Amino acid sequence: MSALPSEPVLKVFAGNAAPLLTPRYLWEYRELLYFLIWRDLKIRYKQSALGATWAIIQPLCTMLLFAFFFGRLVGINSAGIPYPVFAYSGLVLWVFLANSLTTSSNSLVGNANLITKIYFPRAILPIASVLAGLVDLAISSILLLPLLLYYRVTISWSLTLLPIFIVLVTMLAIAIGMWMSALNVKYRDVRHALPFLIQLWMFASPVIYPFSVVTGRWKWAFAMNPLTGIIEGFRAALVGSAINWTIVLVAAALTMLLFAYAVHAFKTVEKTFADII
């Protein structure tokens, strides 16, 4: 019987990890990303009588409640926009963000069986959860055109700017979703605290009221909320009013910073997920 060699015959070294969230990175794992998005959509609407209609029902019912309580009873200033249009245009983005954060924050824990058995880029899981939500966003946005026509809102070329704000809110959802999903692996309190934080965030964003009603020193504090510039810009582009590019640029800069931080933080702790999940 031959003696074992003193040195390993084959040495395995850890290679450099592929950069996260680059177009090349996503393209290499496009089949896995597509599969996870399709799986999330199937699970979401499995055995549902109304199916994808829920994507419209949720923001529509919320808009009707807001229009009655805040539009009629309270009489909140809606910056010259019919309040149903004002509320619904903010809610389609807000519902997308809120649902994306809820699903993406639980994406790692919910797929623990995959993470502990095989290797794949872990960032794909929260990204797929957010991108699956874009389908709901597209469906819920269908109602915007009938609302504009019913309230005789002028449709202008500024509609072409809407994709800019959709990209920004998607990047914001991915950034926070990745960060929260990584935290949720180690601290399961995240799943209990997140719904409460999401509700607080809605009232700190111009969903029910316009940014113009905020005055004094609070104005800059609200401007530092990246969702403020995104919703205000989306709404202005939708109805053809003047866009406050200052808060839009602030929102874009903050979103980019949050995105970069989330990618770095996720990449730092990614290798420990399989051990502690």
Q: Is 220 a residue whose pLDDT tops 80?
A: yes
51-55, 79-83, 95-99, 173-177: lowest mean pLDDT where? Answer: 51-55
Q: Is 197 a residue whose pLDDT tops 50?
A: yes
pTM of this structure: 0.88
Q: Is 165 a residue whose pLDDT tops 60?
A: yes
34-48, 53-67, 162-176, 241-255: lowest mean pLDDT where? Answer: 34-48
Identify the burial level of 52 via C-beta atoms within 10 angstroms of its C-beta, where 0-12 means exposed, 13-18 middle and 19 or more buried: middle
Task: Give the model's pLDDT for residue 7.
Answer: 65
CB atoms within 10 A of CB 9: 6
Average pLDDT, the chain: 86
CB atoms within 10 A of CB 28: 13
Q: Kindly state the average pLDDT of the residues 70-85.
A: 84
Q: Kindly state the average pLDDT of the residues 145-158.
A: 90
Task: Give the model's pLDDT for residue 14.
Answer: 43
For the chain, the structural domain boundaries read: 59-269
Task: Give the model's pLDDT for residue 114.
Answer: 84
Q: What is the pLDDT of residues 11-35, one digit of tens each?
A: 544 445 445 566 677 778 888 889 9
Task: Give the model's pLDDT for residue 206.
Answer: 92
Task: Give the model's pLDDT for residue 25.
Answer: 72
8-17, 79-88, 163-172: lowest mean pLDDT where? Answer: 8-17
Q: What is the pLDDT of residues 56-65, one digit of tens each?
A: 888 889 899 9
Q: Is 126 a residue whose pLDDT tops 60?
A: yes
CA 106 to chain centre: 14
57-61, 72-76, 146-150, 151-155: lowest mean pLDDT where? Answer: 72-76
Of residues 224 and 23, which shows the higher confidence score?
224
Taking the CA atoms of 261, 266, 269 and 271 in sequence, report the sign of the dihedral they define.
negative
With contact defined as beta carbons under 8 Å apart, do 157 and 237 qualify?
no
With contact defined as beta carbons under 8 Å apart, do 173 and 96 qualify?
yes
Q: Kindly state the average pLDDT of the residues 208-221.
A: 86
Amino acid at 136: D
Task: Give the model's pLDDT for residue 145.
Answer: 92
pLDDT grade for 246, boundaries at 50, 70 and 90: very high
Q: Kindly state the average pLDDT of the residues 179-190.
A: 87
Provide, rounded to the nearest whole percent, the portion of the chain with pLDDT above 90: 45
The DSSP output letter for 74 is: I
CB atoms within 10 A of CB 111: 19
